[in-house]
Amino acid sequence: MQQLQVQLVVRPDPVEVGRARRWARARLAWVGVEADDPSAETLILLISELVTNAVVHTGRPAELHMALPPPGGAAGILRVEVVDGSVRAPQLRQAASDATHGRGLELVGALADRWGWEVESGGKRIWCEVDRTPVRREVPGPAAALPAAAAAAAAVRAGFCEHARAVPQGG
């Protein structure tokens, strides 16, 4: 399936997070993903967390990349990548219940269908995906597993987070 690739350069200023959200909402609307669509809300929250991490923790410009289905073809995978100039690995933290920060990657792990990060020349790329592909579901029986979102949230609370990391060659 073809994907529309768009990108935005983000300055190292927390004000840029709001600009990135507005920019992403406009791109989603352009391909037919309406603002009240649950996957749009999820994607905007993921963008907010990843861009915030990039501008707060690196103090350097970053790039926000989105891979979207073509206009009118809103089904499929919505992918977000944030490329920053820091080679420091992202850290999944266990924030205290009264902490005002430290939950960004925990949210990413709970909300994204897939996420990960990889080292790039002079920095890293953190990515996540939200799958909008219609899934045929069978009626669950009494012993059915938790829905995917609840299972992911339970895994995060238990300290497990499904994510990927590319390991540099030769290391």
pLDDT tens for 123-153 read: 999 999 999 876 555 555 554 444 444 444 4
What's residue 97's pLDDT? 67
In the chain, where are the structural domains located?
A: 4-166
How many CA atoms does the CB half-sphere of 53 hold within 13 Å? Answer: 28
Higher pLDDT, residue 37 or 161: 37
* Range 132-141 contact pairs with CB under 8 angstroms and sequence separation of 24 or more: 132/33, 132/39, 132/69, 132/74, 132/75, 132/76, 132/77, 132/78, 133/75, 133/76, 133/77, 134/75
> 105 by DSSP, 3-state: which?
helix
Q: Is it the case that residue 96 has pLDDT exceeding 70?
A: no
What's residue 141's pLDDT? 52
Q: Is it the case that residue 25 has pLDDT exceeding 90?
A: yes
Q: Which CATH number fits domain 4-166: 3.30.930.10, 3.30.565.10, 1.20.1440.130, 1.10.490.10?
A: 3.30.565.10
Q: What whole-number distance in Å separates Cα of residue 138 and Cα of residue 57?
A: 43
Q: What whole-number distance in Å separates Cα of residue 17 and Cα of residue 54?
A: 10
Is 78 in contact with 132 (CB distance < 8 Å)? yes
Tell how far CA 62 is from the center of its chain: 15
Percent of the chain whose predicted confidence (pLDDT) is above 90:
42
Q: Is it the case that residue 74 has pLDDT exceeding 50?
A: yes
Q: How many helices (H) and strands (E) does the chain have?
A: 4, 6
Q: Which residue type occupies 118? A: E
* DSSP conformation letters of 27-41: HHHHTT--TTSHHHH
Q: What whole-number distance in Å separates Cα of residue 113 and Cα of residue 127?
A: 11
Higher pLDDT, residue 39 or 95: 39
What's residue 107's pLDDT? 82
What's residue 109's pLDDT? 87
What's residue 144's pLDDT? 45
What's residue 136's pLDDT? 54
Phi first, then psi, for residue 155 (nearest 5°) are -65, -40
Q: What whole-number distance in Å separates Cα of residue 108 and Cα of residue 111?
A: 5
Q: What whole-number distance in Å separates Cα of residue 140 and Cα of residue 130?
A: 23
